[in-house]
Structure 1
Amino acid sequence: MSASLRSRLLLAAVSLGVCAQSLPTTAHAAASEACTNGGFTLTLPDGRVLSGQSGYKISRSALQANSLIHVKGRYIEFDLNVSTFAVYNYTLTGAANPLDITGGVRTVLFTRKEPALGTQTLNSGDLEIQLSAPDLQFRRQGSTLKMKIQAKDCAQGGIFQMEPETDNDADVVVTHTLASPGIFYFTNPYTGKVNFGNANFIRGKDSPQMAAKLFQSETETVWTVKSGGRMGGVLGEDAVEDSPAASACVQDCQAQNQIRGSVPVLDPIYEGSDGGDDD
């Protein structure tokens, strides 16, 4: 990391009352190695535990309104509101991995990723779950909208995606709130784009598709997402590489557009990286 970037990030961290830690000096290109032994275990609101490589359908009668499912992986944890698909306390566990970006420190990244659904909810539908390590998918359909969440239990890469779909094609507003002090949004001087991260080794970015930013602060972004669009999340090298913006997709969108060949990683915090294929 250059002295100038270190100074900028340390200054931001100090303003939030955060002490810097030692930084790793190199990282490898993001790959399947980031997902080694990844896979989720779910604790349902009624206490049932789901895991393995299976599909499940949870009856609406078993899902109390606004109750939470606890999602626990080797690298990622969060809670899911069954009525709105809001995500709370999205956390990196700090589990050991050659591509770890936490320095082994458990780190909450987001306190919420929350869609504003108004009077609309998903309570009238059953909940569909697909577990296929390291992947997870939630789907639920209410009377006027559908929501889908895809997640990966990996140390870095394209690891999250939220997709709303409304019957009347209305936009959905989604708010992302970072965990502070410690995690903040900043304009990366090497990419010219907005990243979130800390004064150490964490770099990430919001990954919109058919979505527009309404508001930006140091700890919060607000987005309007078109029906069938998405709000994704990317961590590590993929968050600071010189890749194109997402295409205009409103059906079966992927967390990252596939790129053939490598792309340069612009932020020298990941020195020694030469990019890699996106899956």
Structure 2
Amino acid sequence: MFQIRQARFLLFPFLGASLLACGTASTPGEARSPLTAQAASAACEGGAFRVIVGGVTYQGNRGFDIPVPAGARVQLRGRYVQFDLDGDTLSAYDYVMTGAANSADMTGGVRTPVFASKVVDLGQKLGGTLKASISDAAIVLERRGSSAKMKIQAKDCAQGGIFQMEPETGAPVTVTHTLAPGMYYYKNPYTGKINLGNGTDFRGKDSPQMATLNLQADHFSVWTVQSGGRMGGVLGEDAVELSAGATKCVQDCQAQNQIRGTLPVTDPAYSN
């Protein structure tokens, strides 16, 4: 028998046309991300990101304008999740679950690398300050170029919808996901969908919107993402729910992404 449970948001709510106003590193801001309500769940308990650039740490529930030198790495360090961003493109590297104790932990308390990289080909470098809005276990980052904008939304949680990359260039872009050693893509026999895992009960899934899969291999996937679309990622029970997937929407998509009613969970890792 599979489990029917009350559904919740599977995808990040979009923030609309602009990022919430951010303060500077020396002036407290009032920016509050719409991800706050989601981040209050047990899987996110105690989660909070720190942003580290050039040895300077930015943290706390507020907004920041962060100077990022050309070629610099932006380090995101949370209780449950850690990864780096290339400051020039906001491509992500070394995405790791730390194995910190939590009732929703999928790692068995073991540090678990998930993605080696999530690389976006913007065709140009970003510049100016990196705008960051931290709110409890959620963070939103945005940086612009001459004709491009990249937004990253992430959550420091043990599982759930925890990462989203949103390029805006006026044209389609290529995003390539490469899994960490030990992780692989596979077709889940209980859902018929493509999951990622490491042979344990760890479950993950790429979560696209307005994106086309060009190539699927055992350790990487290549996508074409429309301007205003996104490449997200979910882990745990959300990765095996029999949802219909995201709607075709590139602006103000929060309502369309909301699941109403219930969804079946047939994967035995989460249905017992």
- Which bin holds the TM-score, normalised by the shorter protein? 0.7 to 0.9
Q: Which runs of 4+ in 1 moved over 3 A?
A: 252-256
- 1:48 matched to 2:56? The reply is yes
Q: 1:211, 1:224 within 8 Å by CA — same for their partners in 2? A: yes
- Identity across the alignment (%): 57
Partner of 1:146: 149
Q: What value does the CA root-mean-square deviation take over the aligned residues?
A: 1.7
Q: Which amino acid in 2 is paired with 1:178?
A: L
Q: Which amino acid in 1 is paired with 2:92?
A: V
Q: Which amino acid in 2 is paired with 1:185?
A: Y
Question: Which protein is richer in strand relative to its size?
Answer: 2
Q: Could you list the per-position Cα deviations for residues 148-192 of structure 1 after superposition, in whole angstroms to 9, with x for gaps in the alignment?
A: 0000000010000000001xx210100000012x11000001110
Residue 265 (structure 1) shift: 1.1
Q: Which amino acid in 2 is paired with 1:200?
A: T
Partner of 1:192: 192
SS in 2 for 1:189: coil
> Aligned to 2:103, which of 85, 98, 103?
98
Residue 256 (structure 1) shift: 9.1
Structure 1: give runs of 5+ residues left out of the alignment.
1-29, 273-279
Query: Aligned partners of 1:215, 1:154: CA distance in 2, in Å?
Result: 29
Partner of 2:135: 132
Q: Which structure has more RCO (C-alpha within 8 Å, separation ≥ 6)?
A: 2
Partner of 2:216: 216
Partner of 1:122: 126
- 1:72 matched to 2:80? The reply is no
Q: Could you list the per-position Cα deviations for residues 91-139 of structure 1 after superposition, in whole angstroms to 9, with x for gaps in the alignment?
A: 0000111110111110110000000123x1112x221000001100100
Q: Which amino acid in 1 is paired with 2:49?
A: F
CA 163–79 in structure 1, closer or farther in 2 if over 3 Å, else same: same
Query: Aligned partners of 2:71, 2:188: CA distance in 1, in Å?
Result: 37
Query: Aligned partners of 1:156, 1:256: CA distance in 2, in Å?
Result: 22
Q: Which amino acid in 2 is paired with 1:196?
A: L
CA 255–223 in structure 1, closer or farther in 2 if over 3 Å, else same: farther
Partner of 1:21: none
Q: Which amino acid in 1 is paired with 2:215?
A: F
Query: Aligned partners of 1:252, 1:129: CA distance in 2, in Å?
Result: 20
Partner of 1:173: 174
Q: 1:190, 1:267 within 8 Å by CA — same for their partners in 2? A: yes
Q: 2:122, 2:148 within 8 Å by CA — same for their partners in 1? A: no
Give the TM-score normalised by structure 2.
Answer: 0.83
Give the TM-score normalised by structure 1.
Answer: 0.81
Query: Aligned partners of 2:40, 2:230: CA distance in 1, in Å?
Result: 23
SS in 2 for 1:34: helix
Query: Aligned partners of 2:101, 2:194: CA distance in 1, in Å?
Result: 27
Query: Aligned partners of 1:231, 1:220: CA distance in 2, in Å?
Result: 14
Q: Which amino acid in 1 is paired with 2:149?
A: K
Q: 1:137, 1:148 within 8 Å by CA — same for their partners in 2? A: yes
CA 195–210 in structure 1, closer or farther in 2 if over 3 Å, else same: same
Q: Which amino acid in 2 is paired with 1:264?
A: P
Query: Aligned partners of 1:74, 1:195: CA distance in 2, in Å?
Result: 24
Query: Aligned partners of 2:223, 2:255: CA distance in 1, in Å?
Result: 17
